[in-house]
Amino acid sequence: MRRTVGVLVMEHIAVGSVEGHKVVGPLSIFPEKPQSLDPLQSMPAEGIVDCIRQQVDKVAGGEKIAAIGIGFPGIIRGGVVEDSPNFHQAKGFALQGALSAALGAKLAGAQVRVFNDADVMAAGIAATQGKLNKLMRVWTLGNGVGFGRYPSSEGIWEGGHSVVTLDAKENFCGCGGRGHLEGILGLRSMRLRFLDLEPEEVFENARAGDARCAEFVMLCHRALAAATATSIHMEGPGMFFVTGPDVLFIDIGLLDRLLHEMVKMSPCRAAVLKLSPPATKWESSAPPSTPTAPRRTSPAWTLTPYGTPARKEKR
């Protein structure tokens, strides 16, 4: 059977061997354990390529690989990272060509393709859910906020940089723009906003009744609902997934209620939201071929049209 390798780069690098749309064997993750500082943020683009190559070598185990698919944050065209607000060092970098040139031994000659990380999430969901004939949209929450769409279409599709507020003081987005969703919901922006708190502490304090943190948590949900509503008003209703390392911050019931306050025209209201929390935060990455396959221990809350919660599903 044709064997491929999937790579997903977010706060860390996750690599897995894929056969028949399923991950075979364990994932290889760099770094192996969470670190207080993101090592990829300060790593040169060439260093990221070398790190990916090492992880691919480990997963391949000396066997022949037909293709390598990479999901990388940013605007990706023709294998080139045209811009990446959370990986500034990769701007303009020909990632696809660099990795192809770095492959050796039995990996030499393997086809290498690079796509936006959220787009491969959307493609993986469509494949694993058996909905390759449907429009699928995905929000990925991490250092930044990604927006993935399947089927792919010409365009930038940087939904994480949707303008969700006109407040001129909302200037925490990594791209430098004001009022962006990522400037509210991205981990980097949260740390800039709350210099004395980690993102996890902000949400914990909100649950404990801290007014400042609770106000921000509501802002996060309103911002994500607003960006989702904009997508619905532009492309119509459909299925949305919310995933990524920090999806557990999201109250899906609150998000659904806010979304339906913003979307009122009846042809736009048949939207379905799904939240797929990881078993653990550090285990949330999977390679592009099956990036959103839920772990069997992970629950998924399904919200039916018009905000009626469906039963909790075990996967």
- How many domains does one find in the chain? 2
Tell me the CA end-to-end span of the chain in Å, nearest whole number.
27
Angle at 22 between CA 7 and CA 149, to 5 degrees: 60
| pTM of structure | 0.84
Q: Could you read off the pLDDT tens digit of each residue along the chain, which spans 315 residues?
A: 678 999 999 888 999 998 877 788 889 999 887 776 678 988 999 999 999 999 999 999 888 899 999 999 999 999 999 999 999 999 999 999 999 999 987 788 899 999 999 999 999 888 888 888 999 999 999 999 999 999 988 889 999 999 999 999 999 999 999 999 999 999 999 999 999 999 999 999 999 999 999 999 999 999 999 999 999 999 999 999 999 878 889 999 999 999 999 999 999 988 888 876 553 333 333 444 433 333 222 223 333 232 333 333 333
Full 3-state SS string of 35-63:
CCCCCCCCCCHHHHHHHHHHHHHHHHCCC
The CATH number of whichever domain residue 244 belongs to comes to 3.30.420.40
Burial code (b: 16+ CB inside 10 Å, e: under 16) for 188-212 equals: bbbeebbeebebeebbebbeeebee
pLDDT digits (tens, 9 = 90+) for 267-276: 998 888 887 6
Same domain (yes/no): 231, 294? yes
117-140 pLDDT, tens digit per residue, is 999 999 988 888 888 899 999 999
Could you tell me if 139 and 111 lie in one domain? no
> What burial class does residue 251 get, using C-beta atoms within 10 Å of its C-beta: 0-12 exposed, 13-18 middle, 19+ buried?
middle
Which residue do the tokens 């250092």 mark? 143
Indicate if 68 and 144 belong to the same structural domain. no
Q: Do 16 and 163 have their domain in common?
A: no
Same domain, 105 and 197: no
According to DSSP H, which parts of 42-156 are helical?
A: 45-60, 95-102, 117-128
Q: Which residue has the tokens 């300060």?
A: 42
Range of the domain at 232: 120-314
Q: Are residues 100 and 201 in the same domain?
A: no
Query: Rounded to an integer, what distance in angstroms lies between the CA atom of residue 313 and that of residue 315?
Result: 6
18 near 287, Cβ under 8 Å? yes
Question: By the 8 A CB rule, do 285 and 30 touch?
Answer: no
CA distances from 107 to 53, 57, 290 (A): 10, 8, 21
Same domain (yes/no): 72, 43? yes
pLDDT, position 1: 65
User: Cα separation of 27 and 297, whole Å?
Assistant: 17
